[in-house]
Amino acid sequence: MKSTLLILLTCFSTQAQIITEFFPDPSPSKGLPNYEFLEIYNPTEFPIRLKGYTLLYAGSKATFPDSTLLPKEYAVVCRYNRANDFIPYGKVIALSNFSLPNASSSLHLIDSFGQEIFSLFYDESWNIQGGISMEMKDTEFACLGRENWTPSIHPLGGTPGKPNSVLEPIRNIEPPRLISFDLLTDSLIVQFNRAMNARMLNYEHYLAENKEIKSISFFENNKSKILLTFNTPPHHLYIFSPTDCLGGVGEDLTLDFVDTQTPEMGQILISELLFDPPKDSFDYIEIQTSVPINLKNWKLRRIFGQRSEEISLATQYLVSQPYQVFTTDTLSLKLQFPMATNMIQVPKLPTLPQDSATLLLLDPKGKVYDRIHYHTKMHAALLDSPKGKALERMNNTWKTASMDSGYGTPGYENSQNVTESGNSFRTEPEVFSDEVSLHYILQNSELYARIMIIDRDGQVIFKYPTPYYLGTNGKITWNGCDSRGQSLPNGLYIFRIQVYGKDLQQNYYVKCVLKRL
């Protein structure tokens, strides 16, 4: 049975085993046994005796047999009557009862002292293909959750009992960030973008104005959600040093439960959309707000001919960011656009046809705050294909996101925003040893360029792809090498930029000096 999963994990000790792979939907098999399994791994330098360990799942408990997991060793965990099927893959630990629920559930590894050493929470919000396991990318950051998991790329659909097929180091980990909060009658649920540190259950991290906090706990074993209970709900709550499971610390937060701001027309808009994503990627819609807004029960409606389709952006209190991007798969979005931020994963978006459609943004009462009609002809005329390229709002028009931005800026300022007047090009730094950036600002967004590096004798030594779609601002980098990748000698070099568009053709020359040590 196919299942959609969101994974959030917490590893409380480096002196313990972790779950590095799981197989909740074995059918149709691509070559692996057609049965569920977990893979556990000992990342330490010491053997771990599993006698007395238990696995908690969906209200049930299974006890580990007396076995030992050696340093850097993997083991497949499965139901006792399936052990023979997994023996060809390595060490097998069979449990008397074992299953991976397809619906929302949590898994917990408990040691012989009754301490939880690892937990896994998942729910139905991530499409997983049948016959393909989920694998951890970087065991050094086991608690990161969704961003540390991806489907196996092994031809058999998984790698039970051996290193994962998707191993890669994770870099550029952002601090913990508040996603949403939901105020109930006598409690508050605060959701962050990843599993939080157990220290966040201490009262010192919170201050409720003139109100007493009765209890603090993780909500339904999901360590990205914190539940606070009160005798009387406060008007304001302050959260100090929100700390994630890695020890990363985010900005202090102030939550206001009284003044829900009703936006004026123009203060909330659809600002960007990708309606023709590449293969294995997904649509996204970006909302821009100029004032803080609770997006709970705000809706997007698509009108296509005589048909319409409507979805809610959030079913709980959602803290609006200046730019907030909604997609059905944040992991895929991050892979396509590494700079993507302020992402919200929703179960579904309105279907976005690849030719044209109309989108409406409505408040909870059904008032229309924005209405846009997009079509593929809005893209820059000289693009080879609109696939994988987003449309960005520029005042009351729509333009293709710039090539420099990767053709999309989900969750942050659009590449087509103009901050200065006139066309300008500059290099930074002017004298460089490793890399120089050519920064540009243009008045016209429908401009292309032929860009090349020439030496002081006018000889072309490096060319960029042509046509290079500029957008209104961005930067282009050069590493001081020629077209063959060979390092060039120190000296003066010049960016030659031939800018052209409708009724325009102009050359710009910007110098830089290469000075390697």
Q: Is the pLDDT of residue 341 over 90?
A: no
In this prediction, residue 469 carries a pLDDT of 84
CA distance 423 to 22: 54
All residues at 6 or more sequence positions from 107 whose CB lies less than 8 Å from its CB, including other chains: 19, 38, 55, 56, 57, 100, 119, 120, 121
**85 band by pLDDT with thresholds 50, 70 and 90:** very high
CATH code that applies to domain 3-151? 2.60.40.1260
**Identity at 343, one-letter amino acid code:** M
Name the residue type at position 206: Y
pLDDT tens readout for residues 422-450: 678 888 888 888 899 998 888 777 788 88
Structure tokens at 417: 């925003």
User: How far apart are the C-alpha atoms of 502 and 500, rounded to whole Å?
Assistant: 7
Alpha helices in 352-496 (DSSP H): none
The predicted pLDDT at position 261 comes to 67
Mean of per-residue pLDDT scores for the chain: 85
pLDDT score of 11 more than 60: no
Cis peptide before 429 (omega within 30 of 0): yes
Sole residue written with tokens 């339904």: 220
Structure tokens of 429?
């730094």
Average pLDDT over residues 96-102: 85
Q: What is the model's pLDDT at position 103?
A: 66
* Omega of the bond leading into 467 within 30 degrees of 0 (cis): yes
DSSP 296: T
Secondary element (H or E) of residue 122: strand 116-128
Residue, of 310 and 210, whose pLDDT is higher: 310
Q: What would the mean pLDDT of 371-386 be, rounded to a whole number?
A: 88
The residue written with tokens 């100090």 in the block is 240
Reported confidence tier of residue 12, pLDDT bands at 50, 70, 90? very low
pTM reported for the whole predicted model: 0.59
User: Residue 319 belongs to what H/E stretch?
Assistant: none
Quick: pLDDT tens for 219-251: 988 889 999 999 888 888 899 999 998 888 988
Q: Does 178-256 carry CATH code 2.60.40.1220? A: yes
Q: Hey, do 268-400 and 424-514 end up sharing a CATH topology, with the first three levels equal?
A: yes
DSSP, res 377 = G
Q: What are the domain boundaries of the chain? A: 3-151, 178-256, 268-400, 424-514
Cα(222)–Cα(193) distance, integer angstroms: 12
SS (HEC) of 2-50: CEEEEEEEEECCCCCCEEEEEECCCCCCCCCCCCCEEEEECCCCCCEEC
- Classified by CATH at the fold level, domain 268-400 comes out as Immunoglobulin-like (2.60.40)
pLDDT tens profile 136-170: 999 988 888 777 888 899 999 999 999 999 998 88
Tell me if residue 362 falls in helix, strand or coil: strand
Higher pLDDT among residues 421 and 35, named by residue: 35
Residue 8's H or E segment, with its range, is strand 3-11
Q: Which residue has the higher pLDDT, 15 or 317?
A: 317
- Whether residue 60 contacts residue 106, with contact meaning beta carbons closer than 8 Å, is answered with no
Check residue 277 and give its pLDDT.
93
Position 288 pLDDT exceeds 60:
yes
Is the CATH number 2.60.40.4070 carried by domain 424-514? yes
pLDDT bucket at 280, cuts 50 / 70 / 90: confident
DSSP 3-state of 508: strand
Q: What is the DSSP letter of 406?
A: T
